[in-house]
Amino acid sequence: MTSATVRVPAKINLCLGVGPVRDDGFHPLATVYQALDLHDEIRASLDETGTLSVVTHATEEERADVPEGMDNLALQAAALLREETGVEAGAEVAIRKVIPVAGGLAGGSADAAATLVACNEIWGTGLSRHDLEPLAAELGSDVPFLLHGGNAIGGGRGETVSPVLARGSYHWVLAVAEQGLSTASVYAEFDRLTEGREVADPEISDTLLGALRSGDAELLGLALSNDLTEAALSLRPELQSTLNLGREAEALGAIISGSGPTCLFLAQDEEHSLDIAIALAGAGACADVVQARGPVPGVRFV
């Protein structure tokens, strides 16, 4: 096996409860993840000279935002796996980018999860998904979830994941902003806004879990929540009008995805999802409008 190709989904947070900053600088999270059928594709090819390299296939604009070399999370994943397993071979990692960059959809984390799986294959290191989890957690809070996908509860700083019993397939519309938003700056704004306020330990709402268990899209729409909303809107006030547009189009729920700036709308069905997409695109409220379904599995071989 000299090369392996995998696909990896984007993630959204159906709820994102954020607690007070911890001593290590991270915030405790209580979240429910869902993986969406918006996939990056990663091809890892064996490099016998021992070099690790990355090449990104995307629009010119997006490529400018995806780091080259070791700043790319995919290469950090390859380097970590190599360090842990003592492999000497290298890899060329080719990324076909579909997940919007810095959009609150964990695109970089997705590429890291995908690279762990693809390099594990070409290097014959034989680790199970379970064995890859601690490496994934070291790479980033969202990375372990993307190994598995589906619906899952995330605790700790997001890295401890447990699957959620759920039924149903959900129709989402994503309003992708022209410019990404740095996750670190949104958390810094959250800290600034909550300074002097009592920030409760985050919890997951029973209503949301009940909605997933019964596959009730209307109830799920009402239960969507994101504690980073105020911070993201403080940095990007214009997102409020995007959220309002989706609500006017009768979305079952409208929230900011993760740390933003992507706005997320839950639709009743395919037709309604198209209505919302048309309303958003017609108003010119965002750079791109994407329809997606969830949940879908995590990293998969192509």
Residue 90 or residue 104: which is nearer to ligand ATP going by CB? 104
- Give the count of beta carbons closer than 10 Å to the beta carbon of residue 301: 10
The single residue among 133, 142, 159, 227 that binds ligand ATP, judged by CB under 6 A, is: 142
> Pattern of binders to ligand ATP over 243-262, x per CB under 6 A?
---------------xx---
Residue 77 identity (one-letter amino acid): A
The single residue among 17, 107, 295, 298 that binds ligand ATP, judged by CB under 6 A, is: 107
Pair 242, 289: CB distance under 8 Å: no
Number of residues that bind ligand ATP (CB under 6 A): 22
183 is a site residue for ligand ATP (CB under 6 A): yes
31 is a site residue for ligand ATP (CB under 6 A): no
Tell which positions 68-97 bind ligand ATP, by CB under 6 A: 72-74, 95
Kindly give the pairing relationship between strand 263-267 and strand 288-294: unpaired
176 is a site residue for ligand ATP (CB under 6 A): no
Pair 248, 279: CB distance under 8 Å: yes
Residue 109 or residue 120: which is nearer to ligand ATP going by CB? 109
> Listing from the earlier edge strand, what are the strands of the sheet with 253-256?
253-256, 263-267, 170-176, 288-294
242 is a site residue for ligand ATP (CB under 6 A): no
H helices present in 69-182, as ranges: 73-85, 107-122, 129-139, 143-148
**Catalytic residue of the set 40, 97, 111, 142:** 142
Residue with structure tokens 């984390």? 109
Give the binding range for ligand ATP (CB under 6 A) out of 44-52, 103-111, 199-207, 237-245. 103-111
Least gap, CB of 65 to ligand ATP (angstroms): 6
The single residue among 90, 104, 149, 154 that binds ligand ATP, judged by CB under 6 A, is: 104
Tell which positions 194-233 bind ligand ATP, by CB under 6 A: none
Rounded Cα distance, 108 and 263, in Å: 18
Rounded Cα distance, 72 and 184, in Å: 17
3-state secondary structure of 251: coil
The single residue among 67, 155, 156, 168 that binds ligand ATP, judged by CB under 6 A, is: 67
Residue 97 appears among annotated catalytic residues: no
Residue 11 appears among annotated catalytic residues: yes
Please name every residue paired with 171 in a beta bridge, in sequence order, or none if there are none: 267, 293
**Residues 6 or more apart in contact with residue 111 via CB below 8 angstroms:** 8, 40, 42, 72, 73, 74, 77, 95
Residue 153 or residue 274: which is nearer to ligand ATP going by CB? 153
Both tokens of residue 99? 């997940």
122 is a site residue for ligand ATP (CB under 6 A): no
Both tokens of residue 251? 């979305």
Give the binding range for ligand ATP (CB under 6 A) out of 102-110, 212-220, 233-241, 269-277. 102-110
Residue 107 or residue 144: which is nearer to ligand ATP going by CB? 107
Both tokens of residue 162? 């447990």
Q: Which residues are catalytic?
A: 11, 142
Q: Which parts of this chain interact with ligand ATP (CB under 6 A)?
A: 65-67, 72-74, 95, 101-109, 111, 142, 180, 183, 258-259
